[in-house]
A and B are shown apart, each in its own frame.
Chain A
């Protein structure tokens, strides 16, 4: 009964969030383009699916995964669990937090795989690229990027180094990779930075950041708790370009192999 109530409340909230978007779409369609939407019934039914789907999805996450995930983020960063005693405070070794980095990477990877907006972009990328970019290839590439990013972000909070050093170094890497990437992947790679962090990833990652910042001695959640999302949006750009470069390199190698095979024949 309570669950039904939560579902209903969430559905109303989702409708409220989607309403301005629907208003803009239908407003421009009717007033500016003055054209009837093709397959109107199907589109409206699709909107109902989107609303219901999002509501179920959010309630399910809130009921099942977020409470446990957030609790685990707290427990894993607890000094008692990590074996840090009061005498260590102030000169804690970053390596004491090994489980935290591992958890950060694992949760970053797995939440990215379930991220609906990434699935959407991956479907489009497959269709547009004529299936040279696979849905799973792109999703796994992005998830690896998020995993590395969040783990590094957790390391940054533990060590307390300034965020912008990491981000600026990351930018330099992205610029260098852009020079050597196939042209067709660049826009998609830049896009994958923004799609990784929405419904599933942000709440868990934010809880992790706050958990680390509030338990590591000398860190303040207010100043150091931020920045994980920035890492999670930067690293997928690199991993997707690396994925494309890897694909190109493999294609070249098989081509070269074929050529040398035909020469020896």
Chain B
């Protein structure tokens, strides 16, 4: 009991250290650059306390739930030996975690505004909602496909750089043909798809797969799923901009 309390305190201190840079940056710019007092100091203190507590709990939960379940499922799938189920699972995980992603919903809404202002679609609420909805599905399918391709890559042991560099070349070619207004959103969409819960799960899945397949090295082959998940949305969003 006592030792677990000490461990919890130590974890809390670790989270304080993680948050400290933000506090210092904000305090420095507020006090010395903008030369203003910090408003609502008590509110900020409570908020900072919540962030520290939340980060500590999240990291504990990560090690208890997200990492073990990602890895144990990877072992079970490779023991079961059914590649098809593994691929369906990979797609479902990518699609399912992205479709409900709040950051994506926000970006899709922005994109619909840009498209309506730019005259690509009718400027009515319903056509905007349709556009945003279509974009969300496009990105979710692209992330599902990305995790699937990434899992195939781990199984086959392909070097990641050929696939990613090939993807970059695809992005560059598509940039030339995509409507100018969509490019910024497309490039940003690569960054918003990978949420805080997805990243640990998908990382553990990849490492678990690489560890349980003979001849794969977890360091070389296990990482990389997230790289695919941030690349394919760029291409799919530009494609969506060209077609719709």
Residues of A in contact with B (beta carbons under 8 Å apart): 3, 7, 13, 16-18, 20-21, 23-25, 28-29, 32-33, 35, 37-39, 42-65, 68-69, 72, 75-76, 81, 99, 103, 106-107, 109-111, 113-114, 116-117, 119-121, 123-125, 128-129, 163-164, 167-168, 171, 174-175, 178, 183-184, 186-188, 190-191, 193-200, 202, 222-230, 232-233
Measured between C-beta atoms, what is the minimum distance from A172 to chain B in Å?
9
Binary flags per residue of B32-68, CB closer than 8 Å to A gives 1, else 0: 0110001100011111111111111111111111111
Query: Contacts A20-B97, A47-B65: A128 and B207 contacting too (C-beta < 8 A)?
Result: yes
Q: Can you list 26 residue pairs at the A/B interface with Cβ under 8 Å?
A: A20-B99, A21-B197, A24-B97, A37-B72, A39-B68, A46-B64, A53-B57, A59-B50, A60-B52, A63-B47, A68-B39, A124-B207, A171-B171, A171-B172, A178-B165, A183-B220, A187-B221, A188-B223, A190-B160, A190-B164, A194-B226, A197-B194, A200-B22, A202-B191, A226-B187, A229-B191
Find out whether the CB atom of B26 lies under 8 angstroms from the CB atom of A46.
no
Known pairs A3-B46, A164-B175; list 15 more (Cβ under 8 Å): A17-B197, A37-B69, A53-B58, A57-B51, A65-B51, A76-B33, A103-B25, A116-B59, A119-B59, A121-B203, A188-B223, A194-B193, A194-B199, A226-B184, A233-B191
Query: Contacts A57-B50, A226-B188: A64 and B44 contacting too (C-beta < 8 A)?
Result: yes
Residue of B nearest to A52 (CB): B57
Residues of B within 8 A of A164 (CB): 172, 175, 183, 187
Measured between C-beta atoms, what is the minimum distance from A106 to chain B in Å?
4
Measured between C-beta atoms, what is the minimum distance from A171 to chain B in Å?
5
Find out whether the CB atom of A186 lies under 8 angstroms from the CB atom of B161.
yes
**Separation of A55 and B51 alpha carbons in the complex (Å):** 9
Q: Interface range on chain B: under 10, 10 to 19, 20 to 34, or 35 or more?
A: 35 or more
**Separation of A156 and B132 alpha carbons in the complex (Å):** 27
Query: Contacts A53-B59, A111-B22, A113-B18: A64 and B48 contacting too (C-beta < 8 A)?
Result: yes
Measured between C-beta atoms, what is the minimum distance from B104 to chain A in Å?
11
Find out whether the CB atom of B199 lies under 8 angstroms from the CB atom of A114.
no
**Separation of A227 and B172 alpha carbons in the complex (Å):** 15
Find out whether the CB atom of B47 lies under 8 angstroms from the CB atom of A32.
no
Contact of B235 with A by CB under 8 A:
no
Find out whether the CB atom of A113 lies under 8 angstroms from the CB atom of B21.
yes
Measured between C-beta atoms, what is the minimum distance from A146 to chain B in Å?
11
Residues of B within 8 A of A103 (CB): 25, 29, 33
Binary flags per residue of B116-141, CB closer than 8 Å to A gives 1, else 0: 01000000000000000000000000
Which of the residues A48, A184, A227 comes within 8 Å of B187, measured between beta carbons? Answer: A227
**Separation of A60 and B51 alpha carbons in the complex (Å):** 5
Binary flags per residue of B183-209, CB closer than 8 Å to A gives 1, else 0: 111011011111111111101100100
**Separation of A72 and B101 alpha carbons in the complex (Å):** 27
Q: Which of B81-123 contact A (CB under 8 A)?
A: 85, 89, 92-93, 96-97, 99-103, 110, 113-114, 117
Measured between C-beta atoms, what is the minimum distance from B168 to chain A in Å?
5
Residue of B nearest to A179 (CB): B161
Find out whether the CB atom of A116 lies under 8 angstroms from the CB atom of B55.
yes
Find out whether the CB atom of A195 lies under 8 angstroms from the CB atom of B194.
yes
Which of the residues A63, A168, A191 comes within 8 Å of B226, measured between beta carbons? Answer: A191
Residues of A within 8 A of B92 (CB): 24, 28
Most A CB contacts (10 A, CB to CB) among B165, B199, B224 go to B199
Measured between C-beta atoms, what is the minimum distance from A72 to chain B in Å?
6
Contact of B12 with A by CB under 8 A:
no
Query: Contacts A46-B63, A124-B204: A68 and B55 contacting too (C-beta < 8 A)?
Result: no
Residue of B nearest to A109 (CB): B21
**Separation of A50 and B175 alpha carbons in the complex (Å):** 38
List 9 A-B pairs, minimum CB-CB distance, nearest first: A64-B47, A46-B65, A46-B64, A49-B61, A56-B54, A57-B54, A53-B58, A226-B184, A60-B50
Contact of B152 with A by CB under 8 A:
no
Find out whether the CB atom of B19 lies under 8 angstroms from the CB atom of A114.
yes
